[in-house]
Amino acid sequence: MSSILVGVFVLARRQAAAQRKLAGRLAVEHEQGRRLEELSRLKADFTAMIAHELGMPLAAIRALATLLATGELEPPAAAHTLTQIQAEVDVLTALVADVGAAAAVEREDFALHVRRVPVTTLLADAVAFAHTLPGAALVTVSGDMDGLVRADAERIGQVLRNLLSNAAKYAPPGAPIELRAECRGDRIRLEVADCGPGVAPEDVHLIFEKFGRGRAHGTRPIAGAGLGLYVSRRIVRAHGAGDLLVAPNPGGGAVFAFELARAD
């Protein structure tokens, strides 16, 4: 009788263990299914967003090209139409570059090529880029510019270009933009300050997310897929000296800042 009870007990334990394993497998499969559904949703959202961002400039180019093809425009009007087409092409180019940059920083083999870089070089390249922005914003440079930092010059240049582009997009045309450098012990802090509408406190966490966009200000449409600040923060964090932060500009607008390790 005792051997029968032992056998029943062993069988019950085996059945319980099998049920636990089955429940564990079901839980894993359920979690995998949930993640696949989430990835599918994110993929659909990404596709819809990119299609939307591509659709607007493409529609504008199509309409402008059709107008130009009529041959009825006077030379000044035709030249203006060509300028508008080029502007829409620039929007498409920037969007493709942002998507490519986001994919690059998310790859497992993403690496920085860090070396000693003069702060003056980073700022000079940034100012040269700012002169190409629409509206020809007035850019001023100030602060401690004699130091060297440890940085990937190309990647940090990408960050500064993103910040300057945002400043030019959100600030009134021709509004001044400040580039500042400040020595803080073993680090140098770089800042881009604008005179735009600033960033609402409830939007601070949002603007650094992938595809994150702050609330619109005014009626002027702002192009972009919400990738510039996301990519910039990933690059800054990869340098290991801090984070990309935003704060109100005392004179109105926003100040984006990050720090790099000194190398001198």
- Residue 92 sits in the same domain as residue 144: no
pLDDT of res. 183: 92
**pLDDT at position 192:** 93
Tell me what the mean pLDDT of segment 120-148 comes to: 83
pLDDT in tens, 199-255: 888 877 788 777 655 555 544 445 555 678 888 888 899 898 889 999 988 878 899
Percent over 90 (pLDDT), the chain: 17
Total-model pTM: 0.64
- The CATH number for 171's domain is 3.30.565.10
Is the pLDDT assigned to residue 21 strictly greater than 70?
A: yes
What is the residue range of 55's domain? 12-106
Total domains present in the chain: 2
Task: Name the band, by pLDDT with cuts 50, 70 and 90, for residue 42.
Answer: low
- Are 106 and 235 a contacting pair, CB within 8 Å? no
pLDDT at 86 over 80: yes
30 lies in some domain: yes
Q: Is residue 150 part of a domain?
A: yes
Query: Which of the two residues, 57 and 128, has the higher pLDDT score?
Result: 128
132 and 254 together in one domain: yes
**Are residues 54 and 31 located together in one domain of the fold?**
yes
